[in-house]
Amino acid sequence: MIGCFGRRYDMLDNIHFVLLVSRQGKVRLTKWYSPYAQKERSKVIRELSGVILNRGPKLCNFVEWRGYKVVYKRYASLYFCMCIDQEDNELEVLEIIHHYVEILDRYFGSVCELDLIFNFHKAYYILDELLIAGELQESSKKTVARIISAQDQLVEVAKEEASSISNIIAQATK
Amino acid sequence: MSSSSTSIMDNLFQRSLEDLIKGFRLQLLGESNFISRALEEIRREIKVTDLSTKSTALHKLSYLAALHGVDMSWAAFHAVEVVSSPRFQHKRIGYEAITQSFHEQTSVLLLITNQVRKDLNSANEYEVSLALECLSRIGTHDLARDLTPEVFTLLGSSKAFVKKKAIGVVLRVFEKYPDAVKVCFKRLVENLESSDPQILSAVVGVFCELATRDPGSCLPLAPELYKVLVDSRNNWVLIKVLKIFAKLASVEPRLGKKVAEPICEHMRRTVAKSLVFECVRTVVSSLSDHEAAVKLAVAKIREFLVEDDPNLKYLGLNALSIVAPKHLWAVLENKEAVVKALSDEDPNVKLEALHLLMSMVNEDNVSEISRILMNYALKSDPFFCNEIIFSVLSACSRNAYEIIVDFDWYVSLLGEMARIPHCQRGEEIEHQLIDIGMRVRDARPQLVRVSWALLIDPALLGNLFLHPILSAAAWISGEYVEFCKNPYETVEVLLQPRTGLLPPSIRAVYIHSAFKVLIFCLRSYFSAEESTLSFSAQEFSSASSSMNAFTYESILNLVNVIELGLVPLSGTHDVEVQERTKNVLGFIGMIKQDLAEKLNLQDSETEVFRVTAFMEDVFSEELGPVSATAQDKVCVPGGLELKENLGDLEEICGEFLKPVDSVSYTDKISFSVSKLRIRDQQEASSSSSPPHEASSLLAEHRKRHGMYYLPSQKDDPDSNGTPNDYPLANELANEISPDPFNPKKKPNQSKQRPVVVKLEEGDESRNPPQAKSNIETVNDDESLSRAIQSALLVKNKGKEKDKSETNPNSGQQEKEESSRIEDHQNSEKKKKKKKKKNGERSSKHKSRGRNEVASASEQVIIPDYLL
């Protein structure tokens, strides 16, 4: 069965998954580095948002959950959560979260929840540049920003080409 | 034409992801309706040949899958199609969908190998990155095998962007296809010397994971890693390196000595809490023998504990609990902070503090700590309250109450626990009350007192969780009635009408206890009479002073009270209660006439005297604790088939097993009750003939299912001469060894620790031995470790041509190797040795292969594994 909670399978990844949940319990982003089946994903989200959203503001940012640890931090109305193993460094993960938020902030220009709602995929791409296989791969904010904008450009150029009317017509009459 | 025109329409009027998201926020249909509409639309759009329409549809689907849990596995093939698009933005959407939804069993996975290969070879670094990203998530054995050459090439890429991603992927490739190690390992290791912090970070991350799985296989890289540890100032990298060394030091203790100093250096230098914490954790978990390092780490922990930041407080406590088993002083030093944390807002912090407090409990401070904790339990929420109670119970009962000196105090504490409003640990308290009764003779008077207080407390009867405690209290009052101040009141309490609130099984215990009290009173009365007549010394005269108080009237009164209390119960539906009641009433019936008729009961010929004496005998045998290993001592008799499939057993025994479930006994009680019942049966059989019906049924059953019976001649319980050394529970109790007085005891202790009955070896909690080594636990990853080991061999061979021997399995060949190394050493440079003079054993085993590297990194001592 895919996505069993067995540890061995999950061991390779430093971060097992990333969740962004709003204060109202709405999911804003999910990224799974360890295999979880779709059903389990929903269950995990439900379970965790229940635990995390109910925690008071002055409590520590770690939650023990099913033998793992979930590190979370609230920024404005959004909770950023990452799931790690027991022996991983919680403070490091907090820094990764902060790092991600700073990059988002830089990219969107003082990011807010709406930015992430409407640019859901951008938030994804940025996360992909930050983490690979659940490991931090890029700690320089500048580099991430540069890479993302380069890719954006690539898409823009292609889009302009593709969406020009002449192109569409050419395609249709092909 | 028609198809292309719909395509145009689709393309022009297709809703983009943005439209979908906006629509979602404005929709009035209800979420699930909106989603199913959108899905319908997507299903239509995704079938269109135009890739941009298809990819937009796929994009929307990924969105719905990620945030709304929609199944997207049906679109797997479409994702493959989109990936094959030449356009970057399509590819990106396609790869994203694939990483999100594919898994090992996805059938179309086979179709993407070529596309991924093509993209890995692409000139566009962003396309390469997409393919790598994808491989890192969904790489299977086949994919890893087929794409190893490409990954190898990318590992040498001149673009850091690509290279670091390739390194990130390598881990997945290794895991799925260990042979890739042979190909890629060398390049991977070379990157340890990279000057680019990103590359270094990535490669250290890989080794960190590899070391987690099998520390032994990464040991040969210690010199390179050491260099990183000393030189790097990048905290991300350092944290990973520290993790690696924590693992390596656990398999190679000599390494600890070497890395302790640099780690301390980082601890003193850095301001980054995450790095400090990693250093602390490394020291307390893997370098706990290095006094100075531990001292520094504990100092840092203390800093964490006094911080206001709840995170640091939590982590500080966490680190303390790691250090506690080996360095208890560290906890004691911070006791105040720990106790303070008990009242923290955060349940995590509270729990951690509780565990820590329990770890420092010893016989001197147990009462103090318990006192503190009981106070906290009183004001805590139910969950934490029970956590506290449970911790106290398990710490105090550990190893047959090792840390308890004053059992009177402990028994009172157990009684107090029952009165904590949230207490739900009734069963454990019940168990301990009875266990102490059986093991600690000196505690019995206090036990009876505490039980009495529990039994008369009307509040407890209404609390479901406390019923087991009451059951224990009732049992104790009956079993140890000789310590009872006022048996008459005990009987009244045991038979009070409110006991109707108890479940029948516990009620039965109450009734049986009342029976025991009655027998005791009668017996005391008779023996008192006797002694006044014959003036002979009676064993009973010493047992209790209260027995002299029995007069003919009080006995008569007692019998009446019991009869009055029990008569209404003789009609209950519960068989157990009914049977107990009938037993007592039957007994009363036997003696009542005699009691009423004869004022002078000392005549030993009377019925009442004989019956009482008989019952006295029945109850007099003391129940002892049963060794946890008692069952193990029973040899398996020859001819007993244990391996045979017993699947049909249920069918055979189904009818017999069913009723058992309905009577729910707690273990201890049922043990004693059933034992007594055996005696009752014996009693019964002495007067009447054994029931023929039952034996014939049994015989029939034996005939039908003979294979499940033991050979009949050994089966006979009455033949004492059987060679089986099958110890009976009470026989075991006879070979008990009294607990030797603890030599550590303080002279000023006012009370001596009473004897605690301990059964030889078997009595300790039988924890299975801990898994000894990591090496054993990582068997699953053996292929990967072996691959790494052999890869390292190849690498080292490359460095040194003169090596011909190989070293496949480090563990076993250690000895052999060190001797080889010693031979070799003679011919090797010896100046090395002079440099380190602090008597490290390992300097002898200096490995020649590492010399150059080692000297570069300040003579790391590297284990014999290195060639």
B84 secondary structure, DSSP code: T
User: Best mutation site among A135, A143, A165, A169 for testing chain B: the one with the most B CBs within 10 Å?
Assistant: A135
Which residue do the tokens 């309905």 mark? B662
Q: pLDDT tens digits, residue range B810-856? A: 444 444 444 444 444 444 444 444 333 444 444 444 444 444 443 44
Which position has the higher pLDDT, B291 or B709?
A: B291
**Average pLDDT of A156-165?**
69
The Cα–Cα gap between B639 and B709 comes to 10
DSSP conformation letters of B385-448:
HHHHHHHHHHHHHHHHHTT-S-HHHHHHHHHHHHTSTT---HHHHHHHHHHHHHH-GGGHHHHH
CB B365 within 8 A of CB B327: no
Cβ <8 Å between B198 and A137 = yes
Chain B CB contacts of A56 under 8 Å are 345
- Residue B679 is predicted with a pLDDT of 47
Query: Which of B128, B125, B94 lies closest to B111 in space, CA to CA?
Result: B94
**Largest alpha-carbon pair distance within chain A?**
64
Contact between B543 and B482 under an 8 Å Cβ cutoff? The reply is: yes
Report chain B residues whose CB lies below 8 A from the CB of A38. Answer: 65, 69, 71, 73
Does B262 contact chain A (CB < 8 Å)? no
pLDDT at A81: 93
Provide mean pLDDT across the span B1-12. 52
Average pLDDT, chain B: 74
Strand-pair partners of A30: A19
Q: Please compute the mean of the pLDDT values over residues B39-47 and round it to a whole number.
A: 86
CA B128 – CA B165 distance, rounded (Å): 9
- For residues B697-701, give the mean pLDDT: 69
Residue A22, pLDDT above cutoff 60: yes
According to the model, what pLDDT value does residue A97 have?
92
Task: Look up residue B808 and give its DSSP letter.
Answer: S
Q: What is the pLDDT of residue B255?
A: 83
Q: Give pairs for B808-814: CB < 8 Å, separation 24+.
A: B810/B216, B810/B217, B810/B219, B810/B865, B811/B216, B811/B775, B814/B864, B814/B865
Ramachandran area for residue B212 (φ above 0: left; ψ -120 to 50: alpha; else beta) = alpha
Facing residue for A11 by CB, picked from B63, B88, B212: B212
Mean pLDDT of A58-85: 89
Q: Which residue has the tokens 């004001």?
A: B379
Distance, CA of B636 to CA of B634 (rounded, Å): 6
Chain segment B750-767, per-residue pLDDT in tens: 557 777 777 655 444 444
Residue matched to tokens 């009462």: B367
- Nearest-by-CA chain A residue for B66: A30
CA distance A90 to B277: 9
Nearest CA among B318, B384, B314 for reference residue B349: B314
- Residue B743 banded pLDDT, cuts 50, 70, 90: very low
Q: Report which residue type is found at B16.
A: S
pLDDT, tens only, A29-40: 888 888 888 888
Sheet holding A15-22, edge to edge: A27-32, A15-22, A78-84, A68-75, A62-65
Greater pLDDT, B720 or A64: A64
Residues 600-629 (B) with a CB less than 8 A from some CB of A = none
pLDDT per residue as tens digits for the range B45-67: 888 888 888 888 888 888 888 88
**B518 vs B550, more confident:** B518
Give the containing element (helix H, strand E) for A68: strand A68-75
Please judge whether A92 and B105 are an interchain contact, meaning their C-beta atoms are less than 8 angstroms apart: no
The region, left, alpha or beta by phi > 0 then psi within -120 to 50, assigned to residue B663 is beta
pLDDT single digits (tens) B369-413? 888 888 888 888 888 888 889 988 888 888 888 888 888 889 999
pLDDT over 80 at A173, yes or no: no
pLDDT of A72 over the 90 cut: yes
pLDDT single digits (tens) B603-634:
556 677 777 777 777 777 777 777 767 777 77
Residue B405 dihedral angles phi and psi, to the nearest 5°: -105, -45
pLDDT at res. A41: 87
Answer whether residue B310 shows pLDDT above 50: yes
First to last CA, chain B: 72
Ramachandran quadrant class, B238 (left: phi over 0; alpha: psi -120 to 50; beta: rest): alpha
Cβ distance B146 to B113 under 8 Å?
A: yes
Cα of A29 to nearest chain B Cα, Å: 6
- CA distances, B732 to each of A44, B370, B479, B628, B728 (Å): 51, 33, 20, 11, 6
Packing angle of the helix pair B487-494, B504-534 (nearest 10 deg)? 160
HSE value, Cβ hemisphere, 13 Å, CA-based, for B166: 27
User: What is the distance between the alpha carbons of residues B97 and B3, in angstroms, rounded to a whole number?
Assistant: 26
Q: Which residue has the higher pLDDT, B117 or B749?
A: B117
Nearest to B348 among A38, A62, A94 (CB): A62
B629-656: average pLDDT: 69
- Kindly report the nearest CA distance between residue B19 and chain A, in angstroms: 9
* pLDDT band, residue B219 (cuts 50/70/90): confident
Distances from the Cα of B632 to the Cα of B241, B725, B762, B763, angstroms: 48, 11, 9, 12
Judge whether residue B80 has pLDDT over 70.
yes
**Phi and psi dihedrals of B368, rounded to 5?**
-65, -50
The reported pLDDT for the residue numbered B23 is: 82
Encoded amino acid at A148, one letter: I
pLDDT tens digits along B562-575 = 888 888 887 888 88
| Residue B836: other Cβ atoms inside 10 A | 14
